Every structure is written in C-alpha cells, then in structure tokens.
Chains A and B, each alone.
Chain A
Amino acid sequence: MIDTLPKDTIRCDACPVLCYIKLGQTGACDRYGNFNGQLVRVDPHILLDRAKSQGTPVVPFLEREGEWDGTLAKSTDTFVTAIGAGTTYPDYKPAPFIVSSEVDGVDMVTVVTEGIFSYCGVKLKIDTDRHLGPERNLVRAQGEPVGHVTTAEYGSQMLSIGGVHHLTGGTKREGRVTCETLLDLCNGKEVALIIDEGASITVAAGKPPIVNGQQEERMRVGCGSATIGMFAKQWFGKVDEVVVVDDHITGVLSEHQAGKMLGVRETGVAIQGRRSTPGRYFQVAQPGTGWGGTNISDPLVILKPFKPKIAWPYLRLLMVSTTGEQAAYYELDESLRPVEKDLPEQLRESVERVRENCEPALTTVLFMAGAGGSLRAGATENPVKLTNSVKHRLTRVTSGGAPAYIWPGGGITFMVDVSRMPENAFGYVPTPALVAPIEFTLKRADYAGLGGHMDYVRPLDEVLREKQRQRLLTSLPQNPWPLKTPPENDPHR
C-alpha cells in the first residue's frame, strides 16, 4: 500500500488502525500526532476556568459534543494549562505558548509547555495495614520489574514505581511496561502489580486499593488497644465492658491501662487468643474480611465464658470493630450468658464516632519528575535563571493547573498529586518517556529579567481566540488559583 514512506513519517500504535502519520499531522482519531518525529497525544488543549462557586464539580467537555461556545472568559478567570499544548523537544526554541495576562493590576506571564520526562516516576501511598512485601523487593507489572517497595508508613505502605533505570536502563520490554504502568497510574487508571515474595495488588489514584483480591474500605482508627485508649472516657459510665475486635491487637476496656486509670470495675470477661499485656490480645481469630480484619462474623466466638466469681447478671457489654463498621450490644442473663439487645442510643453515638474517625482507604499517586535542559530552554535563554527564580519563589510551577511541590536543592525536581490534575493529562512517547504538562507563572518584569522569550509572549485573549482544539474545564476547588499571587506565608510560594 505504502510504496515509499516520506521521511519523518511515523506509525502510531495507539490502536489497531496503525495510522501512518506525517510530520505535523494527526492520525484518524485526531488524538495522536507526529511532532518532530515523536508520537505525541494531541488531545484538546485544556484551559482551566476558575470555579465560580466552591465545590463546582469538574466536568470535562467532550470535544465534539459540548464544544466551547466561544465565550471569552474574563482573562484573570482563565488559565492556560500545558495539557495538549505540545512540546518543543528536542529543539532549543521557545515554549509552544507563552501567555501574558493581567492579575490584580500586575502583568503576569505563564510559560506553557508539555515536558518529555525520562527522569520520572510515581510514589504510591497505599492505605492498608496488610504486609505488601519486604522492603526493597521488586514490584512487577506484566512480569517486568517496574519499581520497588520502600517503607511502611502509618496505616499505609509506600511503593516507588518507575524512574529512569526502569524506563531506559533495562530491557526494551521493561521500559515499555514501566512507561505504560506510569501512564496508567498518572491518568487515574487501574494497574495490577505483583510484589516479589509479597501481595498482588490492584491500585488506581483516588480509589481504594485491592490487596490479594480484597478491597480495603477504611483505614482503622488505630489498633484495638489504641481504640480503647482513645474512646475509654466516652464509654466510661455508659457500659460496663467494651471489647474492640482487631486482627492485630484486640482491646478490653476493663483490663486496659486506660480503663484502670478511670477506675473501670473488673468484669470477668475472658478472651480467646494470646494475651500480650493487660487488656491487649493477639490472634483472637484468623485474618479475614470479618470483624476488625478477622475472619469472624459473630463476635461472641472470641469470648470464653465469663468468670462467675467476678461477672454479674445484667452486665452491659459492647463489642465493636476497629473501624466501627460492626458493633453489637449484649447484657448477661442470670446464668452470665450474653444476650444480644438493641444498641442503646448513647453507645450508638460512640460507635458512630469510631467510624467517623476512620478515613477511607485510598491509593494516592504523586508524580515526580525533573525538568531538564531543553524544557527550561523553552522558557528562557538562560535556563539556570529559571531554576533560581523557582527557588526564590518568584516563579510558580503548576502541572495542569495543580500546584507542584519543588524539591529543595539543584534543578527543578517537582512532585504533583495526579488526582488534582484534569483527566488524562499525561501522554507518552515511545522513547519511552512520559509527557506531562508544566506551567511556569511569574511577573512579566521578572520574566524579562531572566532572559525570557519576550518576543513570543502573546496576550491571553489572543490565545483564547484560537478556538480549535481548546477545551475549557472548571478548576478543582481544592487547588489554589495558579495566577493568584500567593500570600506571603504560603509554603508553596
């Protein structure tokens, strides 16, 4: 079919159509294009519209179906993101968009470009108390090593995925799979990972992790013993005994230090499992998906008969799991056997409180990358000045409009929470490397001072008039407005 391929024509492998794409053209889908011989996603250029009211949900418009009606937003209320802006790599030339706008009487410039990052990766925080694998062990996707286990943090496990050694330092397939894994994680898609000598997990940004086939719901408020410590005062006087069921450490109010301090009377309760210290029991059951991460659905199975010399009829007993998702209330009968009763209102509140204090278990994805020479050259003729300007907080760095944390020290190495960025903000090139949006916003005078490409600065209104390929999104309410001058004490400043 194709007799002679023109020079610089590439073949897209994003779908089975496998289009041949000439330099500067896009494929049949209009989503992938050939920029300087590199396959780049060219989804519509995304503009952020400042949320008119707090909590406005972000609703991405479809390109064809809800096309922008052409209304010009008030210029300070529109921020041009780098998503879909394109890139100038590997040429030493000005960034695709250098946009000026006036904010609170100050002329601001935003340098907008998509960076191609070989030095990049993600840090995963997975909210689970389950053991995912030994520290330093490899994390694999599709059988290829794509990262490793780092540390356990409070209530969560940390993984590092990607990095230049996996992207370009290993086999070709390792690089390709790493790139695909990073792209999916950054774009909020689900990824299956297997840890050597550890767990199989399925994770996606902002969603509960699935560990060995089981979805985590909530982070527990603490272990059973810690829960007793936190809530002892609220239970004291309202109930005679509380057992907090937990696969790790089950807590018993009357025996626990916190109960003793309050003067809670002994109840003669007897727990299955191995006693650690007073009021704390290991291994009351097997791990599972029942009460408090155990395999039980009836909490009474962890109780042995009450000691008849100490217990008394009508003794009031609350049993609750560490997440407050399960609770049951009992009173002892004449023969000291627990009989289930309705949970009294005053205890219901405390169970609710336990539940409220359990945050939803999530996977969070922070993208981390370093802005290299050619990217900075797109912003200024003197790249180190841009670095210094960022360090001195004269230049604000955002990624798709989301605030970026800049690591101290040399270079511009940044981290950004991908869930604060618009949908599908990331792309890739077959190098393999990730394509991520990056915007530098600074005062016009400062931009001139650091050798900016002043000849290429265009007013915002002019950029907005080029309606083709633009999409207007509402900015996320939790993000600071990228063009707003931050207060003096803002740590991001």
Chain B
Amino acid sequence: MRDPATIRLLPDGQRLHLNDGPIDLIIGADGAAKEIRRAYGAAARRFVRILDELCAELPLLRTRQTHNSELPAGAIARRMTDAVSPYRDRCFITPMAAVAGAVAEAVLDAMTKAAQLRRSYVNNGGDIALHLVSGQSYTIGMVERPETTSLFASVEVSSAVPVRGVATSGWRGRSFSLGIADAVTVLAETAAHADAAATIIANAINLPNHPAILRIPAREIAPDSDLLDLPVTHAVGPLRLQEIAQALDAGMVVADQLRSQHLIHSAALCLQGHVRITSSLCRDGLLRPSVAAHLPSRESETAIVIPSEARNLPLRSVYEEPSLCPK
C-alpha cells in the first residue's frame, strides 16, 4: 500500500514541506508572494515524479561506478552519476552517494525556472541546494553531530562566492559511512557535488583496525544496501586525542586534495568534539565574525583546531534554516 506524497506548508506558513518515501524536503524562498506561490507549485509538481523516476533505475544507481558504467536515463540520475564520477577510479562509489544533493538541485531548478526569486533553498535532510541572485546571501549553520542542536559555526554564503551546494555526511546520519567522522560539511558549486565529496571525506576520516570501532557489513543491516558487504561504521568508542588528530589528518589530506582539484570549495570536519576546517572556509568572509572570534588566531594553511571547551556558542535548531537569519 503506497503512501501518498505529503505536500504542505509548515506551521509558519512560509516554508514548504515535501515528503515521499525516504525523500523529505524543506523549501524556502524570498521574492514577491505571487512568485513564491508559483515556485512552490513548480516544486511540488516536479517533486511528485521524482521517487518513481529514481526507482525505475534503482539497480543501476546502486551499482559501483566505473568507466564502463551504463549512463542512466533520468535527469536526476545523471546528476548523481556526474557528481560521483571524479571518484570512481580511486574508490568504491555508487551514484547513491549523491542522491540527496541531486534531488535538492532538481527541485530548486524547477522553482527558479518557473519564478523570479531573490533567493531560495531546498534542504534535503541537511543536503542543501541554494539559489542567490546578485547581492543576496544565506547564513548556514553547521553542526558537530547530526542529532545535536549546537552549531559550532555558521557561514555566510553570498552570491559572489561560487557555492550553491552544502552537504553533511557522517556515520551517525541516515546513510551508512565507512569512516568514523561525526559530521563532515562540504561547500561546493552544486549540492550533488557537495554530497558526493562529503561522503568521500567522511570515509577518509578513519582508524583502520581500531578496537573501539564496531563495523558491520552493510547488507547485514540493510539487505539491499548499495555498499554490499563493505564494513560500515556502527559504533565508535571514545578515542584518545592523538587518535582523533590522526583520523582528522587523514580526512584533511583528502579535503585539501579535492579543493585543489576544484571539486569542493571548502569543508569542516568533526570528530568527537574536535573540528578542523579548510583555510578556504575562512576566506571570502565566509565564516561569520562572531564565530571567527572563537577561533584561535593561528594562521595555518591546512587546519584550525577548535577544542570543544573553547566553544561557547548559542544553541540553535539542528539545521538552521537560512530564512531565519536576517541578512
């Protein structure tokens, strides 16, 4: 018995909530009331077709990407394939690593094609696609762990910065991870690219054969997982400072590499209360001043470590909705 898709405004009367099976979107838009209505209409019309479109090619999308991989037919499936293809030679990856970002982008595209909006966003469970006309910006809150409410930093993405996608990955989230990162947040040109890159960096934050890490073959938890029998992280015990640094180092190597290949703009890596950010996150006025004040003033090309005790930031909602931040 198939559940129908949910299409409704949130109780604030402003944001749109769309849900269908595992897809759950929160959408916001700024512009003339008539344009917002038109954009929401377009979002809903596009949205209701997405799940069937993806499921029609699900076996292909759950298969490891190689040079010889068949090209999928659907537009979203192609975005997914495009976003993961830079990684297909270096590791096991399936197009599913970019599904959330690709869906967010597709819905945002439908909105911006249908209506004139000053700015808008589609938040797919933390993977966010942004639309900004010249002079507009959004403030994005970043969390250290997906289920907590404390933001360790927020960044301001303006139209001048080449970032229209934000994604977060980690073993505590809804998708499986091969790494032990609590959260890796990536800013990139598109949401699908951010989504794939966050997965790759989160997988790289790891301590092979560490006794405090419980790993389980993915199919023992979900028989139809695209990760087959790869060991996915199920629990991580307390780690020593040195081990945390070692794991984060491994992640930063990959993050910097992806940045030099222009696959991402910047990233923030979180593990057991310790955070590292790429230096690009400090450029372009991206980190908000109130937050930057809490950072140790150490010029480093690779990383800044924020010990958890030094943070004293106010509590906010899990995924801070950009529309709540006055510009």
Q: Are B221 and A22 in contact (CB under 8 A)?
A: yes
| Interface assignment of A176: CB less than 8 Å from any CB of chain B | yes
Q: Indicate whether A69 sits within 8 Å of B3 (C-beta atoms), given known contacts A5-B223, A6-B223, A20-B223.
A: no
Q: Are A17 and B58 in contact (CB under 8 A)?
A: yes
Please report the C-alpha to C-alpha distance between residue A64 and residue B55 in the assembled complex, in whole angstroms.
24
| Interface assignment of A333: CB less than 8 Å from any CB of chain B | no
Residues of chain B with a CB closer than 8 A to A57's CB = 11
- 1/0 contact string of A80-120 vs chain B (CB within 8 Å): 00000000000000000000000000000000000000000
Q: How many B residues face the partner with a CB closer than 8 A?
A: 33
| Interface assignment of A301: CB less than 8 Å from any CB of chain B | no
Q: Indicate whether A65 sits within 8 Å of B318 (C-beta atoms), given known contacts A22-B221, A25-B221, A59-B11.
A: yes
Q: Are B20 and A15 in contact (CB under 8 A)?
A: yes
Q: Are B222 and A19 in contact (CB under 8 A)?
A: yes
Q: Indicate whether A1 sits within 8 Å of B21 (C-beta atoms), given known contacts A15-B2, A16-B51.
A: no
Which residues of A in the span 2-35 have a Cβ within 8 Å of any Cβ on B? 2, 5-6, 9, 13-22, 25, 27-30
Q: Are B1 and A22 in contact (CB under 8 A)?
A: no
Residues of chain B with a CB closer than 8 A to A2's CB = 223-224
Contact of A22 among B62, B223, B317 (CB under 8 A): B223
Q: Are B2 and A67 in contact (CB under 8 A)?
A: no
Residues of chain B with a CB closer than 8 A to A15's CB = 2-3, 20-22, 51
- 1/0 contact string of B242-271 vs chain A (CB within 8 Å): 000000000000000000000000000000
Q: How many A residues face the partner with a CB closer than 8 A?
A: 36
| Interface assignment of A310: CB less than 8 Å from any CB of chain B | no
Q: Are A62 and B3 in contact (CB under 8 A)?
A: no
Instruction: Give the A-B contact count at a CB cut-off of 8 A.
Output: 84
Q: Are A65 and B51 in contact (CB under 8 A)?
A: no
For B1, give the chain A residue with the smallest CB separation: A180
For A66, give the chain B residue with the smallest CB separation: B317
Q: Are A13 and B2 in contact (CB under 8 A)?
A: yes
Please report the C-alpha to C-alpha distance between residue A189 and residue B51 in the assembled complex, in whole angstroms.
21
For A22, give the chain B residue with the smallest CB separation: B223
Contact of B21 among A5, A28, A468 (CB under 8 A): A28
| Interface assignment of B174: CB less than 8 Å from any CB of chain A | yes
Q: Are A67 and B221 in contact (CB under 8 A)?
A: no
Please report the C-alpha to C-alpha distance between residue A65 and residue B141 in the assembled complex, in whole angstroms.
13
Please report the C-alpha to C-alpha distance between residue A7 and residue B241 in the assembled complex, in whole angstroms.
42
Please report the C-alpha to C-alpha distance between residue A422 and residue B1 in the assembled complex, in whole angstroms.
22
Residues of chain A with a CB closer than 8 A to B52's CB = 16
Residues of chain B with a CB closer than 8 A to A19's CB = 222, 224
Residues of chain B with a CB closer than 8 A to A79's CB = none
For B6, give the chain A residue with the smallest CB separation: A424
Q: Are B222 and A14 in contact (CB under 8 A)?
A: no
- 1/0 contact string of B300-315 vs chain A (CB within 8 Å): 0000000000000001
Q: Indicate whether A176 sits within 8 Å of B221 (C-beta atoms), given known contacts A29-B22, A65-B26, A69-B149.
A: no
Which residues of B in the span 142-200 have a Cβ within 8 Å of any Cβ on A? 147, 149, 174
Q: Are B318 and A14 in contact (CB under 8 A)?
A: no
Please report the C-alpha to C-alpha distance between residue A62 and residue B220 in the assembled complex, in whole angstroms.
29
Please report the C-alpha to C-alpha distance between residue A67 and residue B125 in the assembled complex, in whole angstroms.
13
Contact of A67 among B4, B220, B318 (CB under 8 A): B318
Q: Indicate whether A16 sits within 8 Å of B223 (C-beta atoms), given known contacts A66-B317, A67-B149.
A: no
Q: Indicate whether A25 sits within 8 Å of B222 (C-beta atoms), given known contacts A15-B3, A180-B1.
A: yes
Q: Are A17 and B55 in contact (CB under 8 A)?
A: yes
Q: Indicate whether A67 sits within 8 Å of B21 (C-beta atoms), given known contacts A19-B222, A62-B10.
A: no
For B223, give the chain A residue with the smallest CB separation: A20
- 1/0 contact string of B35-59 vs chain A (CB within 8 Å): 0000000000000000110010011
Residues of chain A with a CB closer than 8 A to B55's CB = 16-18
| Interface assignment of A291: CB less than 8 Å from any CB of chain B | no
For residue B58, give the distance in angstroms from its CB to the closest CB of chain A: 7
| Interface assignment of B319: CB less than 8 Å from any CB of chain A | yes
| Interface assignment of A428: CB less than 8 Å from any CB of chain B | yes
For B318, give the chain A residue with the smallest CB separation: A67
Please report the C-alpha to C-alpha distance between residue A14 and residue B19 in the assembled complex, in whole angstroms.
13
| Interface assignment of B109: CB less than 8 Å from any CB of chain A | no
Q: Are A14 and B17 in contact (CB under 8 A)?
A: no
Q: Are B224 and A13 in contact (CB under 8 A)?
A: no
For residue B95, give the distance in angstroms from its CB to the closest CB of chain A: 15
Residues of chain B with a CB closer than 8 A to A138's CB = none
Q: Are B317 and A65 in contact (CB under 8 A)?
A: yes
Residues of chain A with a CB closer than 8 A to B224's CB = 1-2, 19-20
18 contacts between A and B (CB under 8 A): A9-B223, A14-B3, A15-B2, A15-B20, A17-B21, A17-B51, A18-B55, A20-B222, A21-B222, A25-B222, A29-B21, A62-B10, A62-B26, A64-B126, A65-B26, A65-B317, A183-B1, A189-B4
Which A positions have Cβ atoms within 8 angstroms of B?
1-2, 5-6, 9, 13-22, 25, 27-30, 57, 59, 62, 64-67, 69-70, 176, 179-180, 183, 189, 428, 468
Shortest 10 CB-CB contacts between residues of A and residues of B: A15-B21, A29-B22, A20-B223, A16-B55, A28-B22, A59-B11, A20-B224, A14-B3, A67-B318, A180-B1
Known contacts A19-B224, A64-B319, A70-B149, then 14 further A-B pairs from the complex at CB < 8 Å, ordered by chain A residue = A14-B1, A15-B3, A16-B2, A17-B21, A22-B221, A28-B22, A28-B222, A29-B21, A62-B26, A64-B126, A64-B318, A67-B318, A69-B149, A180-B1
Which B positions have Cβ atoms within 8 angstroms of A?
1-4, 10-11, 17, 20-22, 24, 26, 51-52, 55, 58-59, 62, 125-126, 147, 149, 174, 220-224, 315, 317-319, 321
